[in-house]
Chain A
Amino acid sequence: MSYGIAVEVKNLNVSIAGKPILKDVNVKIPESTITAIMGPSGSGKTTLLRVLNRLIDLIEGVEVKGSVKIFGRNILETDPYEVRRMSGMVFQIPNPFPHLSIYDNVALGAKINGIAKSKRELDELVKWALEKAMLWDEVKDRLRDPPWKLSGGQQQRLCLARALALKPRLLLLDEPTANIDPVNTLKIEEALRNLKKEEDMTIILVTHMPHQAIRISDYIIMLYEGVVVEVGPTEEIAINPKHELTSRFLRGEM
């Protein structure tokens, strides 16, 4: 285990159709940690996350400047398809592919990226991913069911498993619990904690819930209007926020 730097963002500037969205962002995220990105809606949290897996490229008129290194590689100069395979992503709304079975949803990325070589390996990988997403026990007898038979919270854990099946070292989550119930929220948080501990995964989580950030994150990045206004260890920021905006946010006033 080496605890190096997983993500290093330097002088990142992002604009969409000429409008600046992220301004001079500089952050370093250590390996095997959970980092919470917080900030009011529209502050650029999703944009920052999507730079990290180059999903940002899908937006027309986007311009990205600066340097972003993930595990030492400058991802802005790497083939975007390759960059996307370096990390897994979970979205705000549970979005399992409706036409694929539970099993195939998880297996898809692994199959296409050649992670599992045989049917047995694939079976094992699917099981591993579903276990890590804390969903295995609930679906092991109905892997061939379509995903829409699952509850919203189960679907979101399925999406987590789908991302995990890529065996990524970096996991990106964009408000993954914004649309699901408290019980499922706690399950996902537990899954994330275990992934960090047991799999040494680096996890970056956008959240609008201050309590969630305090419960599970090691570091907090506070964004406001595209600017990082505060960044540091969660204990420090939670007890003694330096910035007025951060304390207001943590008190739930924003």
Chain B
Amino acid sequence: MKYGRKSLHDKIVFYSLAIPAIIIALILLLLLLTQTSLSIPIFNVQGVTSTYISTTWRPSYEPPPTGAWYGLLPAIWGTLTSAIIAVLLALPLSLSVVIFVEEILPRRFREYISAIIDLMAGMPTILFGIWGLSFLGPILQAYVMTPLHEYLGFIPVFSCKPLAPATVLTAGVLLSLMIFPFMVVVIQETYRAIPITYKEAGWSLGLTMYEYVKLNMSMISPAIVSAILLGFGRASSETAAVTLVVGNAYNIGFCILSPAYTISSLIANQFTESGDFPYMQNALFAGGLILLIIGLIVNTIGIIILRRLRF
């Protein structure tokens, strides 16, 4: 880009708009640097790899490695499993909402559905949390998790008895409700942008509604992948609601019917007291660092894929 022949006025506008953008980029960099530098002490005493792959969380007034030990794998595992459950549930939900709104619902009702979805997307996440804890969790425990364990308990993911309403599955289900509005928006906007001429070509081949929708969805598959990644990014970083419904137990295992921690719920629960224990705060920063890295990777890829989609 050349700004050579711009007037002074244009230059002032340009710089006054560019500076906030640069500041934001710098803040992101600063965040990354702070997270890294505050993680380094724990890496020095425990090692990077063993911090991330150890399953032991043992707070103590004696510093690690002999006294305390802060392994993050259970929290990372809880984050990944609950986010994966969320995406697996939210994907079919959002695809069917998009298909219903775009292809079946009469045009005049579409705005109402969009308004409801926007409302859901903008809801304070803590409201999802208390609803999940007091309503959704007990219902899931009684009508979903218990039957799953009884009838499908031979499958490792359902092998443990659901003793409490707050479990990885509850967190996953709640997260799916929280991320699906965002996934709907990403998929729907792209679906709407399919030029009418492709849709007409599809119909002119005599496709049935099912085949027609399948054709359109495969046309916008990059947007679907992108919605999955962005949804995963949101689900893995969600804190307020998850902290309430995930159960906050330092478990690791394949079973999704037991309580667990996620990285964000671990930080939310432990950070205030972590000053009392040497290195614990650094361990939590190390958790934050991995969360930040996961988020940056997933969101960047998601956005790049979405950008590449051109009709």
A residues near B, CB below 8 A? 53, 55, 58, 60, 81-82, 84-85, 88-89, 91, 93, 95, 97-99, 108-109, 112-113, 159, 162-163, 166
B107 CB contacts on chain A under 8 angstroms: 60
Once A and B bind, how many residue pairs between them come within 8 Å at the CB atom?
A: 58
The answer to whether B205 and A91 have CB atoms under 8 Å apart is no
B202 CB contacts on chain A under 8 angstroms: 97
12 example contacts (A-B, Cβ-Cβ < 8 A) are as follows: A55-B200, A55-B203, A81-B207, A89-B201, A91-B197, A91-B204, A95-B198, A108-B215, A109-B205, A109-B206, A113-B205, A166-B206
The answer to whether B200 and A99 have CB atoms under 8 Å apart is no
CB distance from B285 to the nearest CB of A (A): 43
Besides A89-B204, A109-B206, 7 new A-B residue pairs in contact (Cβ under 8 A), listed by A number: A53-B204, A55-B203, A81-B207, A82-B206, A85-B205, A93-B197, A97-B202
The answer to whether B204 and A163 have CB atoms under 8 Å apart is yes
Q: Is the interface on chain B under 10, 10 to 19, 20 to 34, or 35 or more residues?
A: 10 to 19
- In whole angstroms, how far apart are the Cα atoms of A99 and B202 in the complex? 13
CB distance from A35 to the nearest CB of B (A): 19
CB distance from A58 to the nearest CB of B (A): 7
The answer to whether A55 and B206 have CB atoms under 8 Å apart is no
Q: Is B36 an interface residue (CB 8 A)?
A: no
B200 CB contacts on chain A under 8 angstroms: 55, 58, 91, 95
- In whole angstroms, how far apart are the Cα atoms of A55 and B199 in the complex? 11
Q: Is B218 an interface residue (CB 8 A)?
A: yes
The answer to whether B197 and A112 have CB atoms under 8 Å apart is no
- In whole angstroms, how far apart are the Cα atoms of A55 and B198 in the complex? 13
The answer to whether B205 and A108 have CB atoms under 8 Å apart is yes
The answer to whether B219 and A97 have CB atoms under 8 Å apart is yes
- In whole angstroms, how far apart are the Cα atoms of A186 and B206 in the complex? 29
Q: Is B311 an interface residue (CB 8 A)?
A: yes
A166 CB contacts on chain B under 8 angstroms: 205-206
The answer to whether A91 and B201 have CB atoms under 8 Å apart is yes
Chain B contacts with A in 179-208, Cβ cutoff 8 A: 195, 197-198, 200-208
Closest to B218 in A: A99
Closest to B106 in A: A60
Q: Is B211 an interface residue (CB 8 A)?
A: yes
- In whole angstroms, how far apart are the Cα atoms of A88 and B207 in the complex? 12
Partner of A85, one of B195, B197, B206: B206
Chain B contacts with A in 204-237, Cβ cutoff 8 A: 204-208, 211, 215, 218-219, 221
Q: A93-B197, A97-B219, A99-B219 are in contact. Are A112 and B205 (CB under 8 A)?
A: yes
- In whole angstroms, how far apart are the Cα atoms of A162 and B205 in the complex? 9
Among all A-B residue pairs, the 10 with the closest Cβ atoms: A85-B206, A109-B205, A84-B206, A89-B204, A95-B197, A99-B219, A95-B201, A112-B211, A81-B206, A93-B197
A85 CB contacts on chain B under 8 angstroms: 205-206
CB distance from A231 to the nearest CB of B (A): 25
The answer to whether B204 and A99 have CB atoms under 8 Å apart is no
B206 CB contacts on chain A under 8 angstroms: 81-82, 84-85, 109, 112-113, 166
- In whole angstroms, how far apart are the Cα atoms of A162 and B202 in the complex? 11
The answer to whether B204 and A55 have CB atoms under 8 Å apart is yes
CB distance from B146 to the nearest CB of A (A): 44
Centre residue among B197, B198, B206, B207 by max chain A CB count within 10 A: B206
CB distance from B131 to the nearest CB of A (A): 38
The answer to whether B203 and A84 have CB atoms under 8 Å apart is yes
The answer to whether A81 and B219 have CB atoms under 8 Å apart is no
The answer to whether A98 and B208 have CB atoms under 8 Å apart is no
B207 CB contacts on chain A under 8 angstroms: 81, 109, 112
- In whole angstroms, how far apart are the Cα atoms of A4 and B6 in the complex? 71
B218 CB contacts on chain A under 8 angstroms: 99
A58 CB contacts on chain B under 8 angstroms: 200, 203
- In whole angstroms, how far apart are the Cα atoms of A58 and B209 in the complex? 12
- In whole angstroms, how far apart are the Cα atoms of A166 and B205 in the complex? 8
CB distance from B106 to the nearest CB of A (A): 8
Would you give the 0/1 interface string for B250-270, flagging 1 where the beta carbon is closer than 8 Å to chain A? 000000000000000000000
The answer to whether B205 and A84 have CB atoms under 8 Å apart is yes
A159 CB contacts on chain B under 8 angstroms: 201
Q: A60-B107, A81-B208, A112-B211 are in contact. Are A97 and B198 (CB under 8 A)?
A: yes
- In whole angstroms, how far apart are the Cα atoms of A112 and B203 in the complex? 12
Would you give the 0/1 interface string for B35-64, flagging 1 where the beta carbon is closer than 8 Å to chain A? 000000000000000000000000000000
